[in-house]
Structure 1
């Protein structure tokens, strides 16, 4: 049981690392956010379709109620991705990712409403630690610049991400993680298709290699593993463990975008990583 728990924690951490590449890629890719998200979704959807066919994963939606939930979760996911990329483009990888990672706080308040489980007050303390870590990590802001807009978009993205996870959590035991991600990507691809005709898509010829990485590594593999991990953790637990994303993202941005972290980054990162260790130990006892 202990080895299994460690395996699940490592899988979730690996998924978090893959998803964290979205920060540098979202900042680097030079296209309108909705267009980038369409390409990301459509390519990842095709990759997952091929994978599901190879693995003979059932892609049948079992009821209209399930379909409605998948549509709502996909709309929240599309909104999350678009506003997150806008936040990255307006500010920086650090600001965009740190604003997004208020979502663990949001899930601690929202999860009892969705699952009708007893509220765990320990998550308030851990969430406060994450928030303090984010506060320490945050660079000085000029409130007359685009940074504030980036933070606001990041906060709305966080809310959408929390809602998407909470909706999908109810279906992770009923559907395969790959099929859940496939349904979401298919819906997003359909909804965002008009953006190809309304916005500038000419840069796709030069940005295509980076979009492929975003679709394959970040989306098809990273998000599928994350959804799959919800079978083994509460949403709030997965959210807090996933809070290492800003740390990974800032490190990736340092190597690939030359965004240099400060000492605050290390202190804030230490606090966030501390919550991961604490929550991992707590969830291990409950396993």
Structure 2
């Protein structure tokens, strides 16, 4: 049982690293945010469809009662992605990712409303630690520049992401995680298809390799592993462990985009990593 828990924890951490590549890719890809998300979703749907066929997984929605919540969670996912990438474009990888990571706080506060459980005080404490870490990481703000807009849009993106995870939680024991992700990115790609005719896509050919990485590594593999983790962890636990994403994202941005982290990054990052370690130990001992 302990070994199984450790394996699931490693898979969740690996998923976190893969999803963390979205920050650098979102900042680097030279296309409008909705176009990037359409490419991400369409390619992700293709890769996941091929995988589902290979594994002989049914991609059908099993009950008409499941369709409204799967549709709603997909639309929330698409809104989360588009607003997150706008936040990255308006600020930088660190600010964009860190503003998004208010979502563990939002998740911990909202989860009792969805699961009819009592509010866990430990989750609130850990969420506040994450919030303090994010506060330390954010540089001084000039309200005349675009950084504050990036942060506000990032927080809205966090709300969409938290709601999407909580709504999708009810389906993880009925559907394979890869199937759920395939259904969601297919829906997102259909709803965003009109942007391909209304926005500037003249540069899309040069960006295709990066869109493939975003669609395959970040979306198809990373998010499928994250959804599967919800079978073994609560949404709050998965969210708090996933709070290491800004740290991984900042490291990736430093290596590939030469975005140099400040001293505050290390102080704030230490708080976030501490919450990951504490929640990992706490969830292991359940």
Cα distance, 1:64 vs structure 2: 1.5
* Shift in Å, 1:266: 0.9
Q: Which residue of 1 aligns with 2:87?
A: 87
Q: What is the aligned partner in structure 2 of residue 111 from structure 1?
A: 111
Q: 1:126-173 CA distances to partner (integer Å, 9 max, x unpaired)?
A: 001001111111112211100010001100000000011001111000
Deviation of 1:189 after TM superposition, in Å, equals: 0.8
Query: Hey, what does 1:209 align to over in structure 2?
Result: 209
Superposition RMSD in Å: 0.6
- CA deviation after TM superposition for structure 1 residue 57, in Å: 0.8
Which SS does the other structure have where 1:170 is aligned?
A: helix
Relative to the length of structure 1, the TM-score reads 0.99
Q: What is the DSSP-based 3-state SS (H/G/I as helix, E as strand, rest coil) of the residue aligned with 2:201?
A: coil
**Deviation digits for residues 173-208 of structure 1, max 9, x if unmatched?**
000001000100110011001010111111111111
- Find the aligned partners of 1:115 and 1:248 in 2 and give their Cα distance: 30
- Structure 1 unaligned segments of length 5 or more: list them: none
Task: Classify the secondary structure of the residue corresponding to 1:173.
Answer: coil
CA shift, 1:96, in A, is 0.3
- State the alpha-carbon separation in 2 of the partners of residues 214 and 249 from structure 1: 14
- Tell which deviates more after alignment, 220-229 or 261-270: 261-270
**Distance (whole Å) between structure 2 residues aligned to residue 178 and residue 236 of structure 1:** 21
State the match for 2:143 in structure 1.
Answer: 143
CA–CA distance in structure 2, aligned partners of residues 263 and 53 of structure 1: 48
Q: How many residues align?
A: 286
Q: Which runs of 4+ in 1 moved over 3 A?
A: none
Once the two structures are superposed, the pairs formed by residues 1-287 of structure 1 within 5 Å of their partners are 1-286=1-286
Write out per-residue CA displacement over residues 196-243 of structure 1, whole angstroms, 9 at most, x where no aligned residue.
Answer: 011111111111111110000000000000000000000000000000
1:118 Cα deviation after fit: 1.7
Question: For 2:60 and 2:93, how far apart are their aligned partners in 1?
Answer: 38
Q: Which sections of structure 2, spanning at least 5 residues, go unmatched? A: none
Shift of 1:65: 1.7
